[in-house]
Amino acid sequence: MKTLIISPTYNEKKNVPILVKSVFELNPDYHLLIVDDNSPDGTADIVRSLQEEYSNLHLEVRPGKAGLGTAYLFGFQWALDQGYDRMVQIDADLSHDPNDIPKLLADLDEYDLVIGSRYCQGISVVNWPLRRLFLSYGANLYSRLITGIPIKDSTGGFKAWNRKVLESINFSDVKSEGYSFQIEMNFRAWRKKFNIHEHSIIFVDRTIGESKMSRHIMYEAIWIVWRLRIWRFFGWI
């Protein structure tokens, strides 16, 4: 089966060569798509140079910074159009260990969506300050309580998708970004009764570059769960 790994980037020129090398050392038959938002640091140029070495490395550059959620939706649609069977989403900042990719893909033999989870077996987070850990863990608890979704790590961005799940979702209906994008996509898959599994991972905070977290992303995550609850109540999703 054809497998595509999708990683959105914005100013990740120091991390992206490490990610690319790690992915193709795992399996040279993987395909990797970098969706770059026209990074001013020249991330796209780094990827272009790496394409000379890796034939399965793909690059799509968007006009400007348009957000994580739309970057993944762009990548998902690109994957469907190109006929891929399995898609993996992974952050380019190396907070997700590429060595976990084969483990998530192996679980796709049994499940439709596999989530690399920081919280399904206690707390598996390294180098986060206590405040950020509290916010993340609390946001996931809040999400479960409001939406009813039985997932312990709904905001995580390391996931493996079976093609049929993404085909079932109308991407034009997905409006959220950041953490809330992850919640909404999980919620839509759950409401369509796909089999979802959480695979425990160790999340290590980035050591190179700057976090893209913002207050807007946090505020959006607070209200999106209520919107999803209302949609569920009225049967709109």
pLDDT in tens, 129-156: 888 888 888 889 999 999 999 999 999 9
172-207 pLDDT per residue, tens:
999 887 678 999 999 999 999 999 999 999 999 866
Distances (CA, A) of 230 to 62, 183, 222, 227: 33, 15, 14, 5
CATH-assigned architecture of domain 3-234: Alpha-Beta Complex (3.90)
The pLDDT assigned to 135 comes to 85
Other CB atoms within 10 A of residue 85 CB = 14
The pLDDT assigned to 175 comes to 82
The pLDDT assigned to 209 comes to 52
Instruction: State percent of the chain over pLDDT 70.
Output: 93
β-strand pairing of 203-204 with 86-89: unpaired
Q: How far apart are CA 105 and CA 110, in angstroms?
A: 10
Domain assignments of the chain as residue spans, ordered by start: 3-234
Identify the band that residue 218 occupies on the pLDDT scale cut at 50, 70 and 90. low
Identify the band that residue 221 occupies on the pLDDT scale cut at 50, 70 and 90. low
Q: How far apart are CA 163 and CA 143, in angstroms?
A: 25
Q: Please answer whether residues 185 and 76 qualify as being in contact, where contact means their C-beta atoms are separated by less than 8 angstroms.
A: no
82-123 pLDDT per residue, tens:
999 999 999 999 999 999 999 999 999 999 999 999 999 999
The pLDDT of residue 39 is above 70: yes
Q: Please answer whether residues 42 and 27 qualify as being in contact, where contact means their C-beta atoms are separated by less than 8 angstroms.
A: no
Mean per-residue pLDDT of the chain: 92
> For the whole model, what pTM was predicted?
0.91
Average pLDDT over residues 65-87: 96
Which structure tokens are listed for 135? 């916010």
Instruction: State percent of the chain over pLDDT 90.
Output: 75
Identify the band that residue 232 occupies on the pLDDT scale cut at 50, 70 and 90. confident
Q: How far apart are CA 102 and CA 145, in angstroms?
A: 32
